Homo-oligomer: A and B are copies of this chain.
Amino acid sequence: MTATLTHTEENYLKAIYKANEKTKEAVSTNMIAQYMNTSPASVTDMMKKLSTKGLIIYERYKGSRLSSEGSKSATSVIRKHRLWETFLVQKLGFSWEKVHDIAEELEHIHSEELINRLDDYLGFPKYDPHGDPIPSADGKFTLREQIIVSQLNIGEVGVLVGVKNHETSFLDHLNKCHISLGTSIAILDKSSFDKSLQVHIDNDHQILLTHEVSKNLLVRKS
């Protein structure tokens, strides 16, 4: 059991896991194709393969769900991804916008002993540099109270605990705004027209957050 999977199989399982986090239902072929940046035809091929291997439950025209075996594999890949990102930032001094792409490669290194030693070396971190929870060796996530920053009311203050987008361009934009994990964001005004937010950053400077930006900011109300 737990035969070694290819990078590609692992990436598909991760895609199904992430897509399912949102929809909570069986994930459509098209949605997986979008996540994987491939054609729907390729997805169908792979769904048959993963289904045969017992990693997903797949029904023609009905979509796919992870089996418990598949879920375990997906969680393990996510654990590796997030631990490596944490290593890159905390030990090697990378900035948070640089680490995702490298971790996309590192997450496929198979040794479990390696990742468990890394976890130990990092002090068993609960969250990665983007605020995403890191599953423990037995697959448990540490959840946390968090809301999208736009759910705060005028006058309320939140502390940034996570971002929902890992793209370099997005994180670079936050860097320019002097926003990082731990930054306090106070709501000064909310536009009902374009959903933009006027905010006070770290009691230091005022800026306007477009909806495009604010919908990716997760805060803890403070």
> What's the least CB distance linking A20 to chain B, in Å?
28
- How many chain A residues touch B (CB < 8 A): the figure is 19
Q: Are B94 and A105 in contact (CB under 8 A)?
A: no
Q: Are A88 and B114 in contact (CB under 8 A)?
A: yes
A109 CB-CB contact with B under 8 Å: yes
Can you give 19 contacting A-B residue pairs, CB < 8 Å? A88-B114, A91-B121, A92-B114, A92-B117, A92-B118, A92-B121, A93-B117, A94-B113, A94-B117, A98-B113, A101-B111, A102-B109, A102-B111, A102-B114, A105-B108, A105-B109, A105-B110, A105-B111, A106-B109
Contacts of A91 in B (CB 8 A): 121
| Residues of chain A from 81 to 98 with CB closer than 8 A to chain B in the complex | 88, 91-94, 98
Q: Chain A residues in contact with chain B, CB under 8 A? A: 88, 91-94, 98, 101-102, 105-106, 108-111, 113-114, 117-118, 121
> What's the least CB distance linking A166 to chain B, in Å?
16
> What's the least CB distance linking A220 to chain B, in Å?
31
| Cα(A113)–Cα(B94), bound, Å | 9
Contacts of A108 in B (CB 8 A): 105
Contacts of A111 in B (CB 8 A): 101-102, 105
List 12 other contacts, CB 8 Å, given A91-B121, A94-B117: A88-B114, A92-B114, A92-B117, A92-B121, A93-B117, A94-B113, A98-B113, A101-B111, A102-B111, A102-B114, A105-B109, A105-B111
